[in-house]
Amino acid sequence: MSQPRRALSITIPLLDDELDIEEDQPLQPETWHKEVAQTTTREHATYPPRPTHSHPAVFLGGSAGNNVAPTLVVWACLFVIVFTVLGGVLGVFMALGHGPQVIAKDAGMMLQVSPSTVAIGTTMTLRGSHFSHSGRVQLTRGLFIPVVDTAGSAEIDVDADGQFTDTVVVTKDWGVGQHMLQAQDVQTHKVASFPIKVIGENTSLRPAHLKLSQDTLDFGTGDLATNSTQLVTLSNTGEGQISWQASSDQPWLQTSPGSGMFIGEQSSQVMIAAVRANLQPGSYSGHVTFSSNAGNSMLTVTLKVIPLKPGNEAVMQISSPTLSFNAIDADTFTPAQGITVSNPGVLQLEWQASSDVKWLSISPSSGTVLSGDGETLSVAVDPRTLLPGTYHAIITLSSDQGDGVKDSPQSVYVSVTIAPSCALLASPNTLAFSGIAQQSAPAMQTIDLGVSHGCKSSIAWSAATNVSWLSVNLKNGQTPATLTVSANLNGLMPGTYDGAVVISSVAGAQTIPVTLTLGKQTMPLLAVSSPSSLAFTGVAGQPNPAVQALTFANTGSGTLFWDASVSTTGGNWLALSQQAGTLSAQQGATLGVSAALLPSLAAGTYNGIITLTGRDSTGQTVAGSPRTIAVSFVVGGPCTFSATPTNNQLSFAGNTTSQTFTVKTSGNCAGNIVITPTIKLDQGSDWLTVSPNPATTPINSQVTFTVNLLSVKLPAGAGPYTASIMLDVANGSVKGTPQQVAVSVSPAVSGIQVNPSSTMNFSTLQGVNPGPQSLVINNTGAGTLSWTLSGGSVQSWVTATPTQGGNGARITFSVNVAGLSAGNYQAQFLVTPTSGQPVPITVNLSVAGTSVVTPTPIPTATPTPQSQGPPTPTATPVSTPKVEPTPTAVSPTATPVSTPEVKPTPTAVSPTATPVSTPKAEPTPTAVSPTATPVSTPKAEPTPTAVSPTATPVSTPKAKPTPTAVSPTATVVSTPKAEATPKKAPTATPVSTPQPRPTPTPVRASTPTSKPTPKPTEGSQRGRG
């Protein structure tokens, strides 16, 4: 006997119990993961009477012709006995369905489960064969939901012969209905599956509900090289399965992984990461929305960014703190992803990278990054050892430079999601035949073969059966295909027979259990004609799906008394048109099966079981009873529309002026949907538009709206500004309306940088205007820079142009020291942007006094001492008091002044309108400082001519014979010939003097002139005479 039959749920006679025990002995090697004793009591079948065989006659006497040799008689008797025994054994085997098995040796691995119809709380025994020798197997059900065995493990060991045995308890979260149990070979990634039918009382699970471990997350303050990460746990406060997806509304906000699934008391962990690398200093807020079939939840994330201030050290900066990989089961390759390690510090950075798992590789694993440079690492995942599910890893980047590296070490969180590969699907996944022994065979049944969702091509398959009475019309082919399965009743006695059809492919093997029930000709027999399973679909809020028919019959003799019951998950949504009745021989009946869209049913899949039980007139259960029919009910969400982003919020930041959101419609509503957006502004008016308005779209489609920000119409101020867009529809069958999309506007904050510096330093001599200086205003922020220039404590001696501008504008500062005394001066300007903080500009001015060299005096010219007066410090020109003998005083104006040639006494000229006391000096030249502080001018003997400095060039004639110390002024001064008798000093009014004889020599305004005493000329000799 072959091993596969042994694990099938089957009604077995006593003799087979003994044979089965013997058969089990070699299947218990010491390398099994564990062994749990089988406790299920098997029901003993009634054996048909063995045929009676006549014994050969032994003649003790008679004629010699009739005498037979004793030896021949003995051999004949032995032959008859052996033939009888073998015939009886063969009959038993035929009655039990133990005919020659036709599963090919290369049929591949197989999973067998006993019992296959169970109630919640039942322990099932799993047996596998033809798996990888000494390998491991992972247990799952449905869409690869992990199944934990009685030892608490989802992975089990395989022995050296490629076999395993294990036990699993059916828990409440399975629910009644049909389930597919899967065993996946970790080495080959092939899957063997077996259907399980869960029956029992109605089980009402609490609705699944998604819950986050926290609703807010504050990443605190960090510089541009500091990324932040934190794990958030997703849990289920109800029961059932949750499938979720995550999305964020900010580019700096990341999640890893981005989707997942868990069930019951399980949970999922998601890494939330914030990347500061490309952010400007300031405060930020974003949202991560978790959408699921069990509700939506939002996580609010805040952080603050400060400027990076590297010291005398290296700085480690990574481009992303998370990586997410996705692959298909049995893939041998996934595209690599990159991480950039940058060094915005001063010193070079020496780094190394390591991982905590073997299936992840990093290249290169170490390196050196110079200051201001970066290097990209390649991160690759080997999916060959990973089965469907989500896996996590940590990459650690560090440096051996110790305290010489800022922001080291850093970690990168890696998630890998392996999706199930393309798989073969068979429907239905169980078959049941009923008939009367020694009569015609029951009707043939079919199995449809297809592929799972996401398959891009067909799958080659092969089919085989494990018992002789069961056959299929096709042995191999390509999907899609339909198999015809038939049962042969020849030689079978009344009873229940179990077999299987095994469908194999490159993805694995699926076992389809087949049950054959044969009744006696004089007894009723319950047979379900069609179908073997029922499936309903509906939409919440819409009419209930159509009623379906379940047909059954009494194919035996006598009267059949039947009753029907239902059990469901999620509520009492399944109903039958009749719960009991009677059927005469060869009479059939049809039950109406209906599914109701209860208000409590959320979108999802619900399972149910219909149980048919038949009894004879004595109350005994008849052959083929009870029969169970699996029912599934897929409930779709109501006809709705939803806006994406899922958190229904748009955020305008920086220079963003346009964003979009998508409205998706779903469900089975009839006709088009007209969506009308309405804008409500919380501040100002007309600064937001949306188009199209309105929009018409069919159901199960989407339409994209564009929201434009008119920043020029924003109210005065730095914001933020808020608004809302209300979405309403004209189709009344759409639920969830109206919806609101929130809009927030945080205008871009421009940052001002003054180049080369925000401090301007001027230095000059008294009366000499320095050259102008300029600086450039640059924008270091995210917004468009527009600024104005104003003076906080601006002095009249400095001017700046222009007083407004934008990014890259140049401001020129000019200084006029006219009237300023020697000393230090300061002025403040303020550059104020339309958004952001103003920046002060400081102008410093240092004025030094002029230096005059006095020539050797001539004895014949004795000047009259000047009177001294109290100095008056101002920023205006300084006047000179009356001098005896009176020299010619020339006040600086915008009009040229001619000064006559001095003969022989030099003339002291004061450049101000304020009296200046001139103390006696021997023979030191007079230095006049045009400042706002008191100026003391010493008495000159003889006094040279001092010329007031201004911002324009000065022409100084050649003095005969006395030299003239000239300070640069804003007035071109010519020194005409002067008579021996000095004249009274004029006021600040321009003075007209005779044309000088010599030609004036221009002198640069920034250089005071001091000339040696020249030899007397002819003119000077005449002047003395």
Q: pLDDT for 380-406, tens place per residue?
A: 999 888 888 889 999 999 988 767 788
- For residues 600-607, give the mean pLDDT: 78
The radius of gyration of the chain's CA atoms, rounded to the nearest angstrom, is: 52
pLDDT band of 984, cuts 50, 70, 90: very low
pLDDT in the model for residue 849: 83
In Å, how far are 95, 336, 522, 579, 612 from 555, measured between CA atoms? 20, 64, 11, 20, 15
- For residues 219-245, give the mean pLDDT: 87
Is pLDDT at 548 greater than 90 in this prediction?
Answer: yes
pLDDT in the model for residue 73: 57
Ranges assigned E (strand) in 281-387? 282-292, 297-306, 314-315, 317-318, 322-328, 337-342, 349-355, 360-363, 366-369, 374-381
Query: Omega of the bond prior to 885 within 30 degrees of 0, cis?
Result: yes
Share of the chain above pLDDT 90, in %: 20
Return the minimum-mean-pLDDT range out of 15-19, 267-271, 579-583, 866-870.
Answer: 15-19
Task: Look at 471 and 28; give whichever has higher pLDDT.
Answer: 471
Return the minimum-mean-pLDDT range out of 600-609, 627-636, 781-790.
Answer: 781-790
* Segment (H or E) for 88: helix 70-95
pLDDT in the model for residue 775: 92
Highest average pLDDT, of 56-65, 202-211, 279-288, 1013-1022, comes from 279-288
Q: What is the pLDDT of residues 889-945, one digit of tens each?
A: 444 433 344 444 444 444 443 444 344 444 444 444 444 344 444 444 444 444 444
Distance (Å, rounded) from C-alpha 13 to C-alpha 35? 24
Q: What is the pLDDT of residues 307-341, one digit of tens each?
A: 887 777 888 889 889 998 988 887 888 888 988 99
pLDDT band of 871, cuts 50, 70, 90: very low
Query: What is the distance between the terminal CA atoms of the chain, rounded to a whole angstrom?
Result: 157
The strand pair at 282-292 and 460-465 is best described as unpaired
Q: CATH topology of 3-45+103-189 equal to that of 760-847?
A: yes
pLDDT in the model for residue 1013: 45
| Domain 3-45+103-189, classified CATH 2.60.40, yes or no | yes
pTM of the model: 0.50
Q: What is the pLDDT of residues 818-838, one digit of tens each?
A: 888 999 999 888 888 876 678
Is pLDDT at 681 greater than 50 in this prediction?
Answer: yes
pLDDT in the model for residue 15: 30
The CATH label, of 3.40.50.300, 2.60.40.10, 3.10.20.310, 3.90.100.10, for the domain at 424-636 is 2.60.40.10
pLDDT in the model for residue 746: 74
Give, in words, the CATH class of 640-747.
mainly beta
pLDDT in the model for residue 455: 76
- For residues 26-43, give the mean pLDDT: 33
Instruction: Give the contacts of 697 (CB within 8 A, at least 6 positions apart).
Output: 663, 665, 672, 673, 675, 703
Is pLDDT at 1011 greater than 50 in this prediction?
Answer: no
Instruction: Give the contacts of 295 (CB within 8 A, at least 6 positions apart).
Output: 209, 210
The CATH label, of 3.30.9.10, 1.10.260.40, 2.60.40.10, 2.130.10.10, for the domain at 209-307 is 2.60.40.10
Residue 985 and residue 880 in contact, taking contact as beta carbons nearer than 8 Å: yes
- For residues 12-33, give the mean pLDDT: 32
Q: What is the pLDDT of residues 937-983, one digit of tens each?
A: 444 444 444 434 443 444 444 444 444 444 443 333 344 444 444 44
Q: Where are the alpha helices (DSSP H) in 802-851?
A: none
pLDDT in the model for residue 144: 74
pLDDT band of 547, cuts 50, 70, 90: very high
* Segment (H or E) for 288: strand 282-292
In Å, how far are 256, 280, 533 from 508, measured between CA atoms? 31, 54, 24
CATH code for the structural domain at 310-420:
2.60.40.10
Q: Is the dihedral of CA 984, 987, 992, 995 positive or negative?
A: positive
pLDDT in the model for residue 400: 84
pLDDT band of 12, cuts 50, 70, 90: very low
C-alpha atoms less than 13 angstroms from C-alpha of 435 in its C-beta half-sphere: 20
The strand pair at 508-519 and 431-436 is best described as parallel
CATH topology of domain 760-847: Immunoglobulin-like (2.60.40)
Please report, to the nearest 10 degrees, the dihedral formed by the alpha carbons of residues 40, 41, 46, 51 taken in order: 80
pLDDT band of 1008, cuts 50, 70, 90: very low
Residue 534 and residue 574 in contact, taking contact as beta carbons nearer than 8 Å: no
Mean pLDDT of the chain: 73
Q: What is the pLDDT of residues 163-214, one digit of tens each?
A: 999 999 998 878 777 888 989 998 888 889 898 888 876 555 667 788 899 9
pLDDT in the model for residue 426: 86
Domain coordinates of the chain in residue numbers? 3-45+103-189, 209-307, 310-420, 424-636, 640-747, 760-847
